[in-house]
Each structure stands twice: as structure tokens, then as C-alpha cells.
Structure 1
Amino acid sequence: MAQAGVVLDKDQFNCPICLDVMKDPVTIPCGHSYCCECIQDYWDQDDYLGIFVCPQCRQNFSPRPALARNTMLADVVEKFKKTGLQEDTMSANQSFAEADDVECDVCTGRKNKAVKSCLVCLASYCDVHVQPHYESAAFKKHKLVSASKKLQETICPRHDKLLEVYCRTDKQCICYLCLTDEHKGHDTVLAEAEIQQKQRQLGDMKQSSQLKIQLREKEAQELRQAIFSLTRSARAASEESDAVFTELIRSIELKRFEVRELIKAQEKTAISQAEQLLDKIQKEITELKKSEAELEKLSHTEDHVHFLQSCQSLRAPPVLSALPSVTVDPNLTFGPVMTAVSDFKVLLQEVCQGGFVNIYEKGRHKCWCSYLTNNSSSVCSGTKLSSGSRSRHLQRRAHPRRK
């Protein structure tokens, strides 16, 4: 049974970042694969943000994912290279010049894409037509550069000579003939020497820029760590303060219950005494009404003998016992308790206000924001008491306690 063939395309193994066949391929959590070096360099640019994005699907990762070599994909790419499919695919797809490409000046018909330009011939060549420059001794002194559409810009428009000299006085490239007329006596050097010097300067600037970037990245990392520590510390402080205030509220609730029970006990005792007194008064009223009824009956007796005899046997009316003065105003009854409660309220308010002022002062002097910025007074203004608030606190503390 014949085995079905599989057609492999070079683009299937291209890294989406460098657009070349993947080297040391790795796969990130979203499933896309890249060259290990390419994805590392790509994420290094976003390291200061702390958020890392897939270049294809734009999925975010935080923290930075660890990269592991994709062994299976690496083996397939290696076999792809060894079997020569990559070269066959490139040769099968003729490298014709597109709209933005440099065309070969030698090709006829549809032109191929140029890969090199000769500064002596002032022409561009494809892979095929550039070979004589490598093989023939006649082109040994010709200078090949990357294919460019701007070859004419390398020629002096006045003398039709190659621009090989740089005039530092006028800051422009010139040819050797320009040295004999308008640039005579100017500060000039070979263009290659100037390029080397500029490259060294650019290297120094790049190194300086990298050092600044590293410094800023270090500062950014320190700030992120400070923010994390501040957030964690603030959360812990909030939880601890909540626990303290919850305990205080529970204590106040307990005292409120105890005061309520005290008032109920006083109420019960007072009512019991009042009911005993009321029962005694009711008994006296009953005795007085009974005596009054006998007197009323005797006053209507027509028998004189019976009337006189009854008068002699009359009992003296009961003597009223001394009773304590009774008041019905509850404020007078529970006045001392309410006065004590009011005094406790004032005392508690004074203690709380003094404690809050102390808390705000401690928070102002121990503010974490001073670690994040030198101008801690502006950043941490939210944690300070305003002058008006502090004045109100001090005024409350100055009020005399109610007696």
C-alpha cells in the first residue's frame, strides 16, 4: 500500500516575528510557536509593563511565562532542512520583483528581485546575474552593497563620480573632484572613516541609552515592589483596625446591655415598692369607706334610744399612716442614671477624638508614600487631617465634661 505524500510549505515553519525558519522553537501558553530568541527579545521590550502579549493572538500573560523548547517542532524543522525541501520550495517559487522591490537591471522580460547593487557599475543584480562579480577578476575591485533604489544618490551630480569623501565643514558627501573647487581647504575625511566614527558614536549613544533603560527598569521594578508591599501592608492594617473597632463596638454593646438591665432592675424595684404602698392605701380606703357607711346608716336612725346607744359604741375612724411622697416624673426617678450615661458619652467622645487625632498624626509621620516620591506632602495629603478638622477635634477635646 502506497504511503500518501505530505506537501510541506516553508511558511509553515516560519517564525511570525523574524519571518525566517524557526531556530530553537518554543511554544507559549496560547499555543503559538516562535524562535526562542525572537520571543525573548519581543517580551524584553514589554518587561517594564509587567504584561506580556502574544504577537499573533494578542493574548496577555502575567507574570512572564517560562519558555520550554518544543522538541517535536524542532525535530520537524530539522528534518525539513535536511531533506532540502526548503531550498526546493524557494527555487520553485521564482523570486520575481514586486512593487517595492529593487529590480535586476540585467533581467529581460519579467525582472527578478535584485539582491546586490554595485557602486562601480551603478547597477543592481539578482542572484544569477551577480555571480560574475564573485567569479570574475574583472569585477574584483567593484564594491557590492545591499540592493538599493538610490544608486544615483551615491553619484556626484556635478562630476558623475562616486561620493567617497565626507566634508565635515558642510556636513555632506562629496567626490574627489569636489575637493579641488568649492570644498577646497575644508575638513574632509573618507566616507568610510566618517561612517566608522559615526557608528562608534551611535554605539556609545546606544550603550548610554541601554544604561538609562536599565536604570529606569530597575526603578520601575522597585516601584512595583513598593506598591505591592504598600498594598499588602494597607490590607493587613485595615483588617487589624477592623478587628480592633469590632471589639470596641462589641464592648460598647455589652455596656449598653448592662445599663439597660440596671434600669430594668431599678424599674422593677420601684414598681414593687409602689405596688406595696398602693395595696396599703387601698386597704385604708376600704376601712374608711366602711366607717363612712356605718356613720351614714346611723345618721338616718329614727329610734333615739338606739341612736344614742350606737353612738356610744362607735369606733374612732382609722388613723392614716404616714406615706412617702410619690412622684410620677420618670426623669426624676432615673435622672442620676441618665446623667451618668451622658457623662460617659462625653468622656467616650473625648477619648475617641483624642485617639483619632493620634492615629492621623501617626499615619502622617509614618506615611509609606514618602518611599514612592520625594514630594510626600502632596501625594499623602489624603491621609492628613485638614487644619479645620484638627481645629474641630481640639475644640471638642477642650469642652468641659458635663457634671
Structure 2
Amino acid sequence: MQQQRGVEFDLSQFCCSVCLDLLKDPVTIQCGHTYCRSCIDGCWDQENEKGKYSCPQCRETSSQRPVLGRNNMLAEVVEKLKKTETQQACSSSPLAPAGPADIACDFCCGTIRNKATMSCLTCLASYCPAHLEPHYSFPVLKIHQLVLATVPLQEKMCTKHNKLMEVYCHRDKRCICYLCTMDEHKGHRTVSAAAERATEQVDCKIFIYLFIF
């Protein structure tokens, strides 16, 4: 929860329900829900064969792939939020040496490295607040996908191909990389890991609703 000029708001309102991060290049689809352009494109790429394109949240479908339009007003709001979040992170999260259970910054030099607060799935590196700042300042880095540095990036990598595991295999019920879909998982039903996560979130919300009511 953040507060600006006496008004409180929840950052989750400006997060994409697929990648769970602040919206990047936000687009609003026909039902009114908003996603990162790359996230909804990834979800719909998996639905090309079915010929129906659905919203990951409300499941409203369309027989034709909708044309995506950028939500410029929301993009400006999110951009300001990112700058505010970075400034607060730098001031409220002083640099601290990484402990045994922490993720260390990949860009800190010397024998003692600072604790990483975010990991970039595009750079495949983890950053402390000081080295993370360029990702919020330079346009070429702003489009990178950042996640909280809670687990080592190695755990998100395919041990066979050394690629990010961005695909979910329904047959084997596990995440794989795109190269895996060309050999041992060839012919298996797969979706993007982000799309599978969005589906699980919707199913969980439905279960909670039915359980309560």
C-alpha cells in the first residue's frame, strides 16, 4: 500500500494478473481487463489452434483475435509508480551484505556482495537496489521483466538447455523451456507458464468463492 498526497492505493491494482508485476506496455482488452502486451499476446498465442481468444480473468471469449490498443493513461500512471517505487526502495532499503539465505547481487564486485532485491528474467541476473536503478531509468531496460529475488535464478532455468523455463507441460505437469518442446516434450500439450499461472489463480478464486458462499 502506498500513499501520495493523502490518498492511499494498492499497487496490486496496477499489476498484471499474468506476470504479477507492474504493468508493462498496458493494453485493455474488450472485457475491460488490462494486461502487459507481451503477457496477453503470449496467452493468445497458445489459443491460436482453438480459434477462440479468452480473457485469463473473466474467460470472456472472442472468435477473432482482438486488436490490442495501448492504454496510454494507465501507462503514464504506472511509469510514475515505478519511479516512486524505485525512490522509496533506495531510501527504505539500504544496501546490506547478502547473507547465506539471501540472493546476492550479480553486479556487485569484491568478495562481499550486496543482497539482491529483484531479479531480471531478461538479463538473467539479480540486482541490489543500487544496480537495479537503470532498469527504471533507461527505455531499453524498462521493458525487461523484473520479479522479486526470492529464489536463485538457477531454479528457473532448464538444467538440460540452460534456458528459462517459460512453458508448462500439461502431460508431465511441470515447467520446461522452449527447446524441451522440440525434443522429449514434442507433441505434448503445452501453454506458457504465465498462462498456466493465470488459470490456476482464477480456479483458486472460484474455489474460495464457492467455499465461502
- Counterparts of 1:94 and 1:188, CA distance in 2: 41
The equivalent of 1:161 in structure 2 is: 163
Per the alignment, residue 117 of structure 1 pairs with: 119
Cα distance in 2 for partners of 1:128, 1:87 equals 10
1:103 equivalent in structure 2: 104
**Which secondary structure does the structure 1 equivalent of 2:194 belong to?**
helix
Which structure would you say has the larger RCO, counting Cα contacts within 8 Å and 6 or more residues apart?
A: 2
Counterpart of 1:186 in structure 2 is: 188
* TM-score, normalised by the number of residues in structure 1: 0.28
Between the aligned residues of both structures, percent identity stands at: 48
Partners of 2:132 and 2:198 lie apart in 1 by: 27
- Matching residue of 2:153: 151
**Any idea what the Cα deviations from partners look like across 1:237-294, whole Å, max 9, x if unmatched?**
xxxxxxxxxxxxxxxxxxxxxxxxxxxxxxxxxxxxxxxxxxxxxxxxxxxxxxxxxx
Structure 1 residue 203 and structure 2 residue 209: aligned?
A: no
Q: Partner residue of 2:130?
A: 128
Asked if the contact 1:118–1:144 (Cα under 8 Å) also holds between the matched residues in 2, the reply is yes
Maintained 8 Å contact 2:95/2:129: no
Instruction: Describe the SS at the equivalent of 1:129.
Output: helix
CA distance in 1, matches of 2:145, 2:178: 17
Any idea what the Cα deviations from partners look like across 1:205-251, whole Å, max 9, x if unmatched?
A: 2223334xxxxxxxxxxxxxxxxxxxxxxxxxxxxxxxxxxxxxxxx
Aligned length: 125
Return the alpha-carbon distance in structure 1 between the equivalents of residues 172 and 95 of structure 2: 45
More strand by share: 2
CA spacing shift, 1:178–1:99, aligned 2, 3 Å: closer
State how far apart, in whole Å, the 2-side matches of 1:150 and 1:123 are.
9
- AA partner of residue 135 (structure 2): H
Judging changes above 3 Å, is the alpha-carbon distance between structure 1 residues 178 and 108 closer, same or farther for their aligned structure 2 residues? same
Report the residue type matching 1:202 in the other structure: C
- Max radius of gyration: which structure? 1
Unpaired stretches in structure 1, ≥5 consecutive residues: 1-85, 212-403
Question: For residues 89-109 of structure 1, what are the alpha-carbon distances to aligned partners after superposition, in whole Å with 9 as ceiling and x for unaligned?
Answer: 957x64333332222111224
Secondary structure of the corresponding residue to residue 164 of structure 2: coil
Counterparts of residues 235-314 of structure 1 (less than 5 Å): none
Please report how far the alpha carbon of residue 117 of structure 1 lies from its aligned counterpart in structure 2 after TM superposition.
0.4
Question: What are the Cα deviations for residues 147-181 of structure 1, in whole angstroms up to 9, with x where unaligned?
Answer: 13331121112222211111111111111121121
Which AA in structure 2 matches 1:182?
Answer: E
TM-fit CA distance, 1:116:
0.4
Report the Cα offset of residue 194 of structure 1: 0.6
1:324-343 matches, cutoff 5 A: none
Alignment CA distance shift 1:95-1:188 (3 Å): same
Displacement of 1:204 in angstroms is 1.7
What does residue 137 of structure 1 align with?
A: 139
Q: Which has the higher helix share?
A: 1
Q: For residues 50-70 of structure 1, what are the alpha-carbon distances to aligned partners after superposition, in whole Å with 9 as ceiling and x for unaligned? A: xxxxxxxxxxxxxxxxxxxxx
Per-residue CA deviations over 1:92-144 (Å, capped at 9, x if unaligned) read x6433333222211122432221100112221101110111222233244211
Aligned-residue CA RMSD in angstroms? 2.6
> Which residue type is aligned with residue 108 of structure 1?
C
Determine the structure 2 residue equivalent to 1:80. Answer: none
**Alpha-carbon distance in structure 1 between the residues aligned to 2:101 and 2:158:** 25
